Structure 1
Amino acid sequence: MKTIENIILSLLIIGIIFILSTGIPTGSVQLMTVTGNSMEPTITARDVILVDTAETQPVIGDIVSYYYTFEENERLIVTHRIVGIEKGGYRTKGDAYAEPDDYTVSPEDVVGVMLFRIPYFGSLIHFAGTSKGFLTLVIFPASILIIQELIEIRGSMRR
């Protein structure tokens, strides 16, 4: 029984550390979750990507993350592949699309170049951001551990 408890506790700690690490800056390397499907099949919404923010000279073929302001004046980070370099910046395209984006990305808007992706961990992070995910991944396991500790304390008080 103790082995199962240790395994559950270890998985819980690893999961929480991984989820929290996506929001903590780690120098020139940053973990990012993906929300759209514009880069499928290369990157999916179930993936986490590792981005090198120190890379300032991306080349054609690199996958870059950059800031883009949408029509709703919402500034978000987009991750697309560089398909051309122009005087004003970079021409990008999502792998799932036939045509390049209808805008040019200025070098100042580039967050960094993708190093690699971690498949499926994005699903866990997106799930953890929901109320059901928070209950399942944090509250429920923590409650189990608290109840187990209370049972052990009660047992040691009876001795």
Structure 2
Amino acid sequence: MLTRDTLTRVAQYAGVALLLAVVVPSVVFAVPQVAGADNSYVVLSSSMSPTIHAGDAVVVDGVSPDDIDERDIITFHATGATADTGLVTHRVIDVVERDDGRYFRTQGDANEEPDGELVPAENVVGVVRFHIPYFGYLVQFVNTGNGMLLFVVVPAVLLVLNELWNFRTALTDDEDPDTPAEND
């Protein structure tokens, strides 16, 4: 039979595990430099499935275009017909050297055809070093009113209430005549 102490300990370990499961990816997403990268982004489409899914977060390291090879997954500023989408994360399927510079032919893993335009080297943000599955959904939720309430306001209120409780407890302990005085 499980004792109260055992259940408390299990709950504490579960709480720490849950906290780490949220805090570590949050730190990496907010400050990608801790993982040796430069930027992080939320993936909005499934064009890179099954490798990277919509709702994943990608951590991107800015590198020299000379260090980008076929099979690398890059994030870049879209041009031409896809310019309205802003940033795109696709796989390099060919590196094209021209007199006016280096270009990359890209394609989403889920797409049957390569992207319509070559990506100029100056449009490349960097190479995807790793991705955090589903974490982008959390980032998007936190940026909503309900998410801000749940992840910012509620914890702040709980911290204030906890401090008030500790302050009240300290005051009542000092005033309680039945509490034995400590020997100095």
Deviation (angstroms), 1:73 = 6.2
Q: Which runs of 5+ in 1 are unaligned?
A: none
TM, length-normalised to structure 1: 0.79
Q: In structure 2, what is the equivalent of residue 59 of structure 1?
A: 69
Letter matched to residue 42 of structure 1: T
Q: In structure 2, what is the equivalent of residue 68 of structure 1?
A: 78
Deviation (angstroms), 1:50 = 2.2
Q: In structure 1, what is the equivalent of residue 4 of structure 2?
A: none
Percent of residue pairs identical? 33
> Structure 1 residues 16 and 132, CA, compared in 2 at 3 Å: closer, same or farther?
farther
Instruction: Give the 3-state SS of the residue equivalent to 1:112 in structure 2.
Output: strand
User: Is the 1:47–1:121 contact (alpha carbons within 8 Å) kept by the matching residues of 2?
Assistant: yes
Deviation (angstroms), 1:54 = 2.2
Letter matched to residue 162 of structure 2: Q
Structure (1 or 2) with the greater helix fraction: 2
Deviation (angstroms), 1:135 = 0.9
Cα distance in 2 between the residues matched to 1:99 and 1:71: 15
Q: In structure 1, what is the equivalent of residue 116 of structure 2?
A: 102
> Structure 1 residues 18 and 77, CA, compared in 2 at 3 Å: closer, same or farther?
same
Q: Which runs of 5+ in 2 are unaligned?
A: 1-7, 176-184
Instruction: Give the 3-state SS of the residue equivalent to 2:58 in structure 1.
Output: strand
Q: Which has the larger radius of gyration?
A: 2
Letter matched to residue 93 of structure 2: V
Cα distance in 1 between the residues matched to 2:72 and 2:21: 31
Q: Is residue 139 of structure 1 aligned with residue 146 of structure 2?
A: no
Deviations 1:14-53 (A, max 9, x none): 8467436534462961332212211111101222222221
Deviation (angstroms), 1:63 = 0.6
Structure (1 or 2) with the greater strand fraction: 1
Letter matched to residue 138 of structure 1: V
Cα distance in 1 between the residues matched to 2:56 and 2:104: 24
Query: Aligned Cα RMSD in Å?
Result: 3.0
Q: Is residue 29 of structure 1 aligned with residue 37 of structure 2?
A: yes
Cα distance in 2 between the residues matched to 1:17 and 1:142: 20
Cα distance in 2 between the residues matched to 1:72 and 1:55: 23
Cα distance in 2 between the residues matched to 1:24 and 1:35: 20
Cα distance in 2 between the residues matched to 1:72 and 1:41: 21
TM, length-normalised to structure 2: 0.70
